[in-house]
Amino acid sequence: MSNYTEEINRRRTFAIISHPDAGKTTLTEKFLLYGGAINLAGSVKGKATARHAVSDWMQIEKDRGISVTSSVLQFEYDGYCINILDTPGHQDFSEDTYRTLMAADSAVMVIDASKGVEAQTRKLFKVCVMRKIPIFTFINKMDREARDTFELLDDIEKELGIATCPINWPIGSGKGFQGVYDREKKCVIAYSDTEKGTKEGTSTEIPIQDEEHLKELIGEDAADKLLGEVELLDGASAEFDLDEVQKGNLTPVCFGSALTNFGVEIFLKHFLKMTTTPLPRKADIGLINPTEHEFSAFVFKIQANMNKAHRDRIAFMRICSGKFDANMEVRHVQGNKVMRLSQPQQIMADERKILNEAYAGDIIGVFDPGIFSIGDTLCMPKEKFQYEGIPTFAPEHFARVRQVDTMKRKQFVKGVEQIAQEGAIQIFQEFNTGLEEIIVGVVGVLQFDVLKYRLENEYNVEIRLENLPYEHIRWIENKDEIDLAKLSGTSDMKKVKDMKGNPLLLFVNSWSIGMTLDRNKGLVLTEFGRN
Ligand code: G4P
């Protein structure tokens, strides 16, 4: 096989999904710690340092002390080359968060043990399901009072509709957290409250059959409870089946505490063993296999104006097959141009490192003079195929946008269209009129501020935003079969069209969606649009 097969096969590219505050950052830091990428947990992107570490591409980031766009972290661990894709949470939740998942081969889902499945996890999970990628669960904060373990698993199964398979089982929680039972090794690993930020402390392991020592170690009550739970678990839980895991039907679950660093390395080891090497990807000529095809990649994110002085854009691409060499010529399929990619770089947190080579599974950022769009394919000059496009994700916040100075119509339309082309916002028009009024849809409300800021600073256009009450948008999948004029919706429904003229429906609540479907037999609505 090719000389890059080995490099590709040791790559693991994944995203961490969670609701804000579940512990994604803390877990990421502990992963990096094991990989030796940082010396002290917290030094990469802890909230305390975030204020100083943010890149300076946009004042808004500085003002708010957050990073508006996501980045990629690469590190080595145990022979693996690991790429973690950051999915921004808090207010900076945007379409980029979703798109990042299009570039990942698997996802780690972090759940707060006292809370269970929360809203943002649910949203991100849907995208993973759509892609059928494996999902691994880390139930975090076991050092705090947690919900009942069976209840937590039940919550995942019911809320997300995925079967769970505990890899280990917690012994108590909060002050009573004593460690975990490893189901594969059939032994108990006792928890020692390790110093924050250090590597995992030494732990005691004893076989579960050794009841005498077990009782000595964790106490009689805890031992009895554990033995009972293990018996129940072995009888009731789904059997471990790697094939089902890789298809995304079964999620392996580990328990631990990212902050006190217990169970993190066990989880990382299990995860790396079970997760997948870079996955083949669908193109118009069929599936492209990462190791059997020369270089190819697709653009999943475009970040504008990282450096205001240069007005540059960075196009982030996921390499899908073969090896990338900085000197090689590639074809940009959508632009029908053969070119050298300019300043290929790896963006590590807020630092950029120029790179000479990269392999399938890796993410590179290249200087974009305004030629790339999200979803574009790059391949070898002799080829000309296209990867399947990236879906458009349903915005949840809508506003009507008007420019303050009506004389600046041209700049306004140009600015809004360009920002929409980068994928930061989606724009819609009233169904029966033209561009007099624009409706903007965003996934995260911060994007409204970004739009306002950028129009003022880059296009010299002041705008007014009027929030609209809609929260749900649906594309009409079978638009050619449906007579839109006759469509009978609810009173709160609004018909709009996107810039290509595709019809869409806006709803205030999800109940109205069901009602509209009931009233219009044959109507097929979808949450993910295709470009
Ligand atoms: P996020 O990226 O998912 O938003 O969460 P992050 O890691 O920033 O963690 C959110 C808060 O939860 C942080 O506390 C963090 O220290 C805490 N945390 C994370 N993992 C654990 C855990 O296993 N056990 C406990 N007890 N706490 C955990 P904070 O006070 O909000 O922030 P900070 O000032 O400590 O950074």
Reported as a single tens digit per residue, the pLDDT across 318-342 is: 999 999 998 899 999 999 999 998 7
pLDDT tens by residue, 225-266: 999 999 988 887 777 899 999 999 999 999 999 998 889 988
pLDDT tens per residue, range 44-101: 444 433 333 333 334 434 443 333 344 678 888 999 999 998 787 666 677 888 888 9
Do residues 264 and 188 share a domain? Answer: yes
Are 448 and 367 found together in one domain? no
Asked if residue 449 and residue 312 are part of one domain, the reply reads no
Cα 257 to ligand 1 centroid, rounded to whole Å: 10
What residue's CA is closest to ligand 1, atom 29?
21
Q: How far does residue 261's CA lie from ligand 1's centre (Å)?
A: 12
pLDDT(203) > 90 = no
Residue whose CA lies nearest to ligand 1 atom number 19: 23
pTM for the whole structure: 0.85
CATH code of residue 350: 2.40.30.10
Domain final position from 274, 297, 331: 274
Q: Which atom belonging to ligand 1 lies closest to the Cα atom of 257? A: 23
Ligand 1 centroid to Cα of residue 79, in Å, is 29
Q: For residues 306 and 269, state if they share a domain.
A: no
Q: Do 183 and 113 belong to one domain? A: yes
Q: What whole-number distance in Å separates Cα of residue 121 and Cα of residue 495? A: 29
Whole-angstrom Cα distance, residue 189 to residue 147? 21
Same domain membership, residue 255 and residue 136: yes
Range of the domain at 322: 281-379
**Roughly what angle, to the nearest 10 degrees, separates helices 264-274 and 24-35?**
80
Q: How far does residue 42's CA lie from ligand 1's centre (Å)?
A: 11
Q: Would residue 221 count as lying in a domain?
A: yes
Structure-token pair, residue 249:
């039907």
Residue with tokens 């609810």: 490
Residue 431 domain flag:
yes
Residue nearest to atom 15 of ligand 1 (CA): 23
Average pLDDT for 453-458: 88
Predicted confidence at residue 466, as pLDDT, reads 95
Residue with the two structure tokens 């409870």: 225
Judge contact between 281 and 18, C-beta under 8 A: no
In this structure, which residue's CA is closest to atom 31 in ligand 1? 21
- Name which residue leads in pLDDT, 313 or 395: 395
Tell me which of 62 and 302 has the higher pLDDT. Answer: 302
Q: For residue range 375-408, list pLDDT tens digits in order.
A: 999 999 999 999 998 888 889 999 999 889 888 8
CATH assignment at residue 197: 3.40.50.300
The whole-angstrom distance between residue 176's C-alpha and the CA centroid of its chain comes to 33
Q: Is there a single domain that holds both residue 41 and residue 148?
A: yes
Q: Is residue 94 part of a domain?
A: no
Q: For residue 109, what are its two tokens?
A: 């889902």
Give the CA diameter of the chain: 84
Looking at residues 109-134, what average pLDDT do you find? 93
Nearest atom in ligand 1 to 258's CA: 23
What is the DSSP code string of 218-231?
H-HHHHHHHHHHHH
Please report whether residue 95 resides in a domain: no
Amino acid letter, residue 77: Y
Structural domain ending residue among the three candidates 258, 274, 290: 274
Q: How far apart are CA 126 and CA 235, in angstroms?
A: 29
Q: Give percent of the chain above pLDDT 90.
A: 49
Contacts of 200 (CB under 8 A, 6+ apart): 194, 261, 262, 264, 265
For residues 422-439, average pLDDT: 80
Instruction: Tell me the two tokens of residue 134.
Output: 């494996």
Nearest CA to ligand 1 atom 10: 21
- Determine which helix (DSSP H) or strand (DSSP E) holds 413, and give its type and residue range: helix 409-422
SS3 158: helix
d(CA 369, CA 318): 19
pLDDT grade, residue 507 (50/70/90)?
very high
Number of domains in the chain: 3
Distance from residue 198's CA to the centre of ligand 1 (Å): 16
Ligand 1 atom at shortest distance from the alpha carbon of 46 = 36
Ligand 1 first shell, C-beta below 6 A: 18, 20-26, 46-48, 89, 140-141, 143-144, 257-259
92 is a domain residue:
no
* pLDDT value of position 346: 64
Domain containing residue 506: CATH number: 3.30.70.3280
HSE (CB half, 13 Å, CA atoms) of 62? 6
Is 318 in the same domain as 229? no
User: Binding site membership for GTP: which residues?
Assistant: 18-25, 86-90, 140-143
| DSSP-derived secondary structure letter, 390 | P
**Residues 350-360 pLDDT 10s:** 555 677 889 99
Same-domain pairing of 314 and 429 = no
* pLDDT (mean) for 362-383: 90
- Four-residue CA torsion sign, 374, 301, 134, 272: positive
Q: What SS3 state is found at 42?
A: coil
pLDDT level of residue 428 (50, 70, 90 thresholds):
very high
pLDDT digit string (tens) for 467-497?
999 999 999 989 888 888 888 888 999 999 8
**pLDDT greater than 90 at residue 103:** yes
Is there a single domain that holds both residue 409 and residue 289? no
Quick one: pLDDT at residue 445? 85
Flag the least confident range among 165-174, 305-314, 399-408: 305-314
Q: Which pLDDT value is given to residue 389? A: 87
Q: Is 82 inside any structural domain?
A: no
Mean pLDDT on 103-123: 95
Does residue 396 share a domain with residue 358? no
Ligand 1 atom nearest 144 alpha carbon: 26
The answer to whether residues 213 and 241 belong to one domain is yes
Q: Which of 32, 47, 73 to mutate to test the pocket of ligand 1 (most atoms within 8 A of CB)?
A: 47
Kindly state whether residue 81 falls inside one of the protein's structural domains.
no
Among 379, 400, 426, give the residue marking a domain's end. 379
d(CA 171, CA 186): 14
> What pLDDT sits at residue 276?
95
Query: Could you tell me the distance, in angstroms and rounded to a whole number, from the CA of residue 472 to the centre of ligand 1?
Result: 31
CA-wise closest residue to 448 among 397, 496, 413:
397
Examine residue 211 and state whether it is found in any structural domain, yes or no: yes
Yes or no: say if 251 and 245 are a contact pair by the CB < 8 Å rule. Answer: yes
Mean pLDDT of the residues in the chain = 85
For residue 396, what are its two tokens? Answer: 């949840």
Residue nearest atom 4 of ligand 1, based on CA coordinates: 21
* Ligand 1 center to 27 CA (angstroms): 9
Residue 339 CB partners (closer than 8 Å, separation 6+) = 329, 330, 331, 332
